[in-house]
Amino acid sequence: MNQTFATLFQLIGELAVLTALVVLVVALVLLALTLASIRSGRLYFPSLLRPGLTALEGVMRALFKAVGLEDQEMLGFFVKLGNTMNAQAFAEIPVGERTIFLPQCLRNARCPADLTPEGLRCKRCGRCTVGEAIDTLEGLGYRVFIVPGSSFIKRMVKKYRPHALIGVGCLAEVKEGLEMADRLGLIGMGVVSLKEGCVETLVDWNTLYEVALLGLPPSAVPEDLHLPAEE
Ligand code: SF4
């Protein structure tokens, strides 16, 4: 009996060492691919990188830290990877089935928007460019929300059942949003704000438009499409 247990424990030990070795080798390959992708600005083997980085996120974070990769750089890479992987599928979804979530911090600090069950309702007061951008995006056929709190997105997804979404926010928010979209079975695209913080943040509206226009035929884009001036 003792011999049986000893053999069993030895087997478990060997399996654990083998698993750790496999994880280490995979993690090193992912690290090399990530660093090469960041340096060259091109994504190498994105279909391997994405599930790998997600499955081994804890190990990869430690490895990235060990080689001096900043958290921001890593988050930016995650977002770029997600966007690249999702772009084609996103482009194939009709605009009426896409939704855009804007963070409330893009608004002017003296924003008079009303808080409603459908998020903050912009009054087009002209103090910031959010109202202008919403008009343009709604003109393209998008449903656009200004997000007042963390549980809001899930509630609107449940209510309106979009098939794709664009999330705007800081790096960490966008990364989490893309992961949430994945979990909900939606195609998510992220646009990272230019300035982080809680008040009067900035987004490059043209970057948001580039994503929003993916897959739209030229005939669906109004000739007078007016890009809001950057703040
Ligand atoms: S334009 Fe809209 S979002 Fe911007 S400050 Fe006015 S009401 Fe608020």
Domain chopping of the chain, boundaries: 2-69, 88-220
Could you tell me which of 193, 107, 93, 187 has the C-alpha nearest to residue 145? 107
Rounded to the nearest angstrom, the distance between the alpha carbon of 125 and the centre of ligand 1 is 5
Q: Grade residue 64 by pLDDT with cuts at 50, 70 and 90.
A: confident
What residues have CB less than 8 Å from 224, skipping those under 6 apart?
none
Give the predicted TM-score (pTM) of the model: 0.81
Q: Is 13 in the pocket of ligand 1 (CB under 6 A)?
A: no
Q: Is 125 in the pocket of ligand 1 (CB under 6 A)?
A: yes
Alpha carbon distance, N-terminus to C-terminus of the chain = 76
Q: Is 113 in the pocket of ligand 1 (CB under 6 A)?
A: yes
Is 120's pLDDT higher than 90?
yes
Q: Is 131 in the pocket of ligand 1 (CB under 6 A)?
A: yes
Q: Grade residue 119 by pLDDT with cuts at 50, 70 and 90.
A: very high
Q: Residue 227: its pLDDT value, please?
A: 56
Q: Is 148 in the pocket of ligand 1 (CB under 6 A)?
A: no
Q: Which atom of ligand 1 is nearest to the CA of 110?
A: 5
